[in-house]
DNA sequence: TTGTATGCGTTATCAA
DNA sequence: TTGATAACGCATACAA
């Protein structure tokens, strides 16, 4: 039976097959009714064309070429190319125990640079021979274990998971339990602290001795805010400034205005506000305009993101911009170390972030 | 040897194994050095615990329960649950010829609702027993075939691909060649035409007889702009209005202002501009303010997105909002039809989009 | 109603 | 230097 199937395959390979799959082991004798696709080439096809065994094909295509004659290697490679052969992830995953995918977990937060981040990481992942796949985290509760992520990891059995901020504590535990590596988890640089401090130092340098921190207050998670706020607080303490006021800003006009009206009596002016992101900064800036505050002399705001919208409005927003490839350096490094890529140097927070001076500070 | 391995597995299953994989077929006699994870349960384990054969397990777990006694079904299900059994995607994909994943292809464009869109579609995909995986398209050229997508499809062999606007013509050809179904491709409603017409009709209804269409002019692809602009043009023709002027707006202040300065002599005022998205509308609105134009009487803009930022600034932006679940109705429907879910009704463009009245029209 | 046998495509071991 | 063979986990046609 096997011989029949193999023989049949010889024919089928060079011919069109049904769009549906035929029964395994059943010779296909009839004419294809709807000739739509060719069955993907397998290592058997390559082996036959190259005149070698499947084992040889496997070795050569995995770059274990030392033990083979140059001629054999060449023949196998040409055959693979000619047939458009691509190793089956399924077969490979089955025998390896895990697949060649890396899951990028994106947090449930707006993220102007997301496409950029994914693009940069995708390139690095491919450099080490793996394939990127993006997963949007949806868990809002800090310690909820995401059923979706769990299922993805259990079925895909990825070679690794990259956390862009979407993982809860339980998610991380889960990954450890099933033995799925979390890329760069333990060497994550404290970027959020760096950002918060950068904002505080900038506001202080522009003459603001009274500071506040503005969180985002909407339906989305805010995976970074607390660390940044802590950094602002630490800066104030270190510099002998009064502790910053914390506020939560809703993303609509009247709500933002109300927040501002409530904070001013408690802080007085001038006041400098470090904001969770550009959107929060814009909301506060607009509210300040309607209240007749002078920006930036009485009321200064600085965002984080360098979103385009902050640069088209008046006053142009002062913000913190990230150098995406640099700020992902620790992940890129871990990827290289864990999966056999070239060694690279890690970036410092100073290299990763910079202030973009606008008109709001 | 097989018996040995099977026996060995019986032991290993209830015990911790190495974090690395042991050699298949090699009994593990030594004590585990680093007892980190248990090997995932297989259908053999479930079969043994339930006292049935692997075939029975497979049938029951695929809901082909008619032919089995209630007792058998129950025993199998309990055993699977007890062992935390998850069927291996690899084994399944290998024998089925394709995996249980659906690839969501996201276009290279800013997208406020992206998280929402992905969340809604993910839910629907799971309803039919498949798993969503997101792929960020990066191809900018209209007819470039994305090497990344190609590789993903070839290795993952997904059950289907959902195009959110990131596929080029060649990508679509490629998918057809390899026989990967493109979900809802042929029944895609013409939402972009609906959006363009909605914008034009709104501006006209607010008293603007002279219209323009503003494209995005930045580094990103603009997969939707042309269709919307065409719809605006068609509307003008149909209503006997002068043909709309097309402009491309860069996302920075001086550039946007220059565009505005160049268009006004050609159109005069009052002028109504249908914009590609909220950001373009904001850029033009701000430029209009600096030129001293009266908004909306002399110069009106309407965006698309209902992005939060448009609602926190002054004047508050008029825009087109999408009902995400409704606007994805055709995809949800196709998913259900193609993969055996519940039948649902398709939404019309009128149900999917609505005008959010702000202060710029 | 249940079990047996086989194949899916890849990799690893060991023999030639 | 190369090849035969045995896993990996699952699904299914077919036999019992």
**Rounded to an integer, what distance in angstroms lies between the CA atom of residue B48 and that of residue B212?**
71
Minimal Cβ distance to A309: which of B37, B99, B282: B282
Nearest to A155 among B86, B108, B311 (CB): B86
Give me the domain span that covers residue B252: 191-356
**Mean pLDDT of all residues in chain A?**
84
Question: What percent of chain B has pLDDT above 90?
Answer: 56
Q: Residue A143: pLDDT band by 50, 70, 90 thresholds?
A: low
User: DSSP secondary-structure letter at A187?
Assistant: G
pLDDT, position B140: 64
Cis omega (within 30 of 0) on the bond before A116?
Answer: no
Closest B-chain CA to A17:
B179
> Per residue in B112-155, pLDDT tens?
788 899 999 999 999 998 999 999 988 666 666 788 899 999 99
| CA dist A18 → A2, A24, A87, A189, B97 (Å) | 21, 13, 22, 53, 13
- Residue B257 predicted with pLDDT over 80: yes
B336 and B254, same domain (yes or no):
yes
**Average pLDDT over chain B, rounded to an integer:** 84
- The last residue of one of the domains, among B87, B121, B141, is B87
Distance A53 CA to D4 C1' (A): 9
Residue window 90-109, chain A: list those with CB within 8 Å of chain B: 90-91, 93-94, 97, 99-101, 108
Convert the pLDDT of each residue in A268-303 to its tens digit. Answer: 889 999 999 999 999 999 999 999 999 999 999 999
DSSP-based three-state secondary structure for B182: strand
The average pLDDT across A134-158 equals 83
Q: What is the pLDDT at residue A221?
A: 64
Q: Do B311 and A251 touch (CB under 8 A)?
A: yes
Residues A67 and A159 in one domain: no
Position B259 scores a pLDDT of 96
Residue B222 pLDDT:
74
Asked if strand D contacts B61 at the CB level, meaning under 7 A, the answer is yes
Q: How far is the CA of A49 from the C1' of D13 (A)?
A: 31
Cβ pair A164, A135 in contact under 8 A: no
> How far apart are the CA of A144 and the nearest CA of chain B, in angstroms?
17
Supply A301's token pair: 């705001």
Q: How far is Cα A322 from Cα A317, in angstroms, rounded to an integer?
A: 15
B359–A contact, CB cutoff 8 A? no
User: CA of B358: how far to CAs of A43, A313, B277, B313, B355, in Å?
Assistant: 61, 17, 15, 10, 9
B323 and B340 assigned to the same domain: yes
* Domain boundary pick from A87, A118, A149: A87
Q: Nearest nucleotide to A66 by CA–C1' distance?
A: D1
Residue A361 in domain: no
Q: Are residue A156 and residue A30 in the same domain, yes or no?
A: no
The answer to which of A135-144, A186-195, A330-339, B221-230 has the lowest mean pLDDT is A135-144
- For residues A329 and A308, state if they share a domain: yes
- B212 and B347 in one domain? yes
Considering the domain architecture, whether residues A102 and A83 belong to the same structural domain is answered as no
Asked which of B40, B58, B87 is the last residue of a domain, the reply is B87
A246 in contact with B at a CB cutoff of 8 Å? Answer: no
What pLDDT sits at residue A237?
A: 97
Domain assignment of residue B361, yes or no: no
- Residue B30 pLDDT greater than 80, yes or no: no
Which bases along strand D come within 7 Å of a protein CB atom? 1-13
Q: Assess B127–A contact: CB distance below 8 Å, yes or no.
A: no
pLDDT value at residue B40: 82
B198 with B323, same domain?
yes
**Do A178 and A200 share a domain, yes or no?**
no
Question: Which chain B residues are within 8 Å of A279, Cβ to Cβ?
Answer: 308-309, 312
Which residues contact residue B92 at a Cβ distance below 8 angstroms, ignoring those fewer than 6 apart?
B99, B100
* CA of A227 vs chain B CAs: smallest distance (Å): 24
Strand C proximity list, CB < 7 Å: A 1-2, 5, 9, 24-25, 39-40, 42-44, 54-55, 57-58, 61-62, 85-88, 90-92, 94-96; B 23, 51-56, 67-69, 71-72, 91, 94-95, 97
Q: What is the pLDDT of residues A301-326, one digit of tens each?
A: 999 999 999 999 999 999 999 999 99
The spacing between the Cα labelled CA in B131 and the C1' in D12, in angstroms, equals 23
Task: Give the residues across from A216 on adjacent strands.
Answer: A249
Q: Do A133 and B136 touch (CB under 8 A)?
A: no
Summarised one tens digit per residue, pLDDT across range B175-232 is 998 889 999 877 778 889 999 999 999 999 999 999 999 999 875 667 788 899 999 9
The tens digit of pLDDT for each residue in A26-70 reads 333 333 333 345 678 888 888 888 888 888 888 888 888 877 888
Phi, psi of A82 (to 5 degrees): -60, -35
Cβ contacts of A288 on chain B, cutoff 8 Å: none
- Contact between the CB of B342 and strand D at under 7 Å: no
Chain A touched by B277 (CB under 8 Å): no
Which residue is closest, via its CA, to the C1' of C2? B56
Flag whether pLDDT at A265 surpasses 90.
yes
Q: Which pLDDT score is estimated for A288?
A: 96
Considering only the beta carbons, identify the residue of A100, A151, A312 that sits closest to B252.
Answer: A312
Residue B289 lies in a domain: yes
Whether the CB of B10 is below 8 Å from some CB of chain A: the reply is no
Inter-chain touch B286–A314, beta carbons under 8 Å: yes
Q: B359 is written with which tokens?
A: 């202060």
Give the count of domains, chain A: 3
Read out DSSP for A94-159? Answer: HHHSS-SEEEEEE-SS--TTHHHHHHHHHHHHHHTT-EEEEEE----STT---HHHHHHHHHH--S
In a domain, B232, yes or no: yes
The verdict on residue A264 lying in a domain is yes
How far from each other are the two terminal CA atoms of chain B, in whole angstroms? 79
CA distance B330 to chain A (A): 22
Q: Which residues of A touch B283 (CB under 8 A)?
A: 312
User: What's the average model confidence in pLDDT over A7-34?
Assistant: 31
Contact call for residues B301 and B273 (beta carbons, < 8 A): yes
Longest dimension (CA), chain A: 87
What per-residue confidence (pLDDT) applies to A23? 33
A327 and A284 in one domain? yes
- B122–chain A Cβ distance below 8 A for any pair: yes
- Count of other CB atoms within 10 angstroms of residue A30: 8
Lowest mean pLDDT among B76-80, B319-323, B346-350: B346-350
**pLDDT at residue A38 in the model:** 62
Peptide bond into A111 cis (omega under 30): no
pLDDT of A109 reads: 79
Inform me whether the pLDDT recorded for A222 exceeds 80.
no
pLDDT band at B5 (very low <50, low <70, confident <90, very high): very low
B5: Cβ under 7 Å from strand D?
A: yes
At B7, the pLDDT band (50, 70, 90 cuts) reads: very low
Report the protein residue whose CA lies nearest the C1' of nucleotide C9. Answer: A91
State which residue has its Cα closest to the C1' atom of D8: A95
pLDDT at B283: 97
pLDDT tens-place string over residues B156-182: 999 999 999 878 888 999 999 888 999
Let me know whether A322 and A227 are in one domain.
yes
Asked if A234 and A320 sit in the same domain, the reply is yes
Q: Tell me, what CATH number does A223's domain have?
A: 3.40.50.2300
**Residue B188: its pLDDT value, please?**
77
Instruction: Determine the nucleotide nearest to B68 by Cα–C1' distance.
Output: C1
Min Cα–Cα distance to chain A from B326, Å: 20
- The dihedrals phi and psi of A271, each to the nearest 5 degrees, come to -135, 140
**pLDDT on residue A144:** 65
Chain A residues whose beta carbon lies within 8 Å of the beta carbon of residue B115: 108, 110, 136, 220
Q: Which residue is nearest to nucleotide C11 (CA to C1')?
A: A95
Looking at residues A231-239, what average pLDDT do you find?
A: 97
Residues of A numbered 284-343 whose beta carbons fall under 8 angstroms of chain B's beta carbons: which are they?
286, 289-290, 308-309, 311-314, 316
Nearest-Cα distance to chain B for A241, in Å, is: 31
- What does B278-293 look like in DSSP terms, one character per residue? HHHHHHHHHHHHHTT-
Residues B283, A97: C-beta atoms closer than 8 Å: no
Looking across all nucleic acid strands, the nucleotide with the smallest C1' to CA distance from residue B56 is C2
Selected residue with higher pLDDT from B239 and A74: B239
Range with the lowest mean pLDDT among A184-188, B196-200, B276-280, B305-309?
Answer: A184-188
pLDDT at A20 over 50: no
């Amino acid at each position: 039976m096997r011989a029949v199937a193999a023989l049949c395959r010889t024919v089928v390979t060079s011919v069109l097959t049904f769009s549906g799959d035929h029964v395994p082991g059943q010779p296909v004798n009839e004419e294809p009714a709807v000739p739509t696709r060719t069955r993907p080439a397998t290592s058997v096809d390559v082996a036959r064309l190259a005149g070698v065994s499947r084992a040889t094909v496997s070795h050569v295509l995995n770059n274990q070429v030392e033990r083979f004659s140059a001629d054999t290697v060449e023949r196998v490679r040409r055959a693979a190319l000619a047939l458009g052969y691509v190793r089956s992830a399924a077969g490979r995953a089955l025998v390896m125990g895990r697949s060649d995918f890396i899951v990028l977990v994106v947090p449930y937060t707006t993220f102007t640079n997301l496409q950029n981040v994914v693009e940069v990481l995708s390139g690095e992942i491919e450099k080490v021979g793996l394939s990127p796949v993006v997963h949007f985290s949806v868990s809002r509760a800090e310690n909820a274990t995401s059923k979706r992520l769990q299922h993805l990891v259990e079925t895909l059995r990825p070679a690794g998971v990259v956390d862009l901020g979407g993982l809860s504590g339980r998610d991380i535990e889960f990954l450890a339990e099933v033995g799925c590596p979390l890329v760069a988890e333990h060497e994550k640089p404290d970027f959020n602290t760096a950002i918060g401090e950068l904002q505080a130092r900038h506001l202080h340098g522009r003459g603001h001795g009274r500071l506040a921190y503005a969180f985002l207050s909407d339906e989305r998670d805010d995976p970074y805010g607390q660390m940044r706020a802590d950094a602002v607080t630490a800066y104030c303490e270190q510099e002998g400034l009064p502790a910053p006021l914390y506020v939560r800003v809703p993303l609509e006009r009247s709500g933002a205005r109300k927040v501002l009206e409530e904070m001013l009596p408690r802080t007085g002016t001038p006041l400098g506000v470090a904001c969770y992101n550009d959107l929060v900064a814009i909301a506060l800036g607009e509210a300040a305009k309607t209240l007749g505050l002078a920006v930036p002399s009485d009321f200064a705001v600085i965002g984080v993101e360098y979103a385009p919208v902050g640069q088209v409005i008046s006053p142009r927003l002062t913000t913190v911009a990230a150098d995406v490839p640099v700020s992902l350096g620790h992940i890129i490094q871990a990827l290289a170390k864990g999966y056999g890529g070239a060694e690279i140097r890690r970036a410092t927070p100073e290299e990763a972030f910079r202030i973009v001076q606008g008109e709001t500070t």
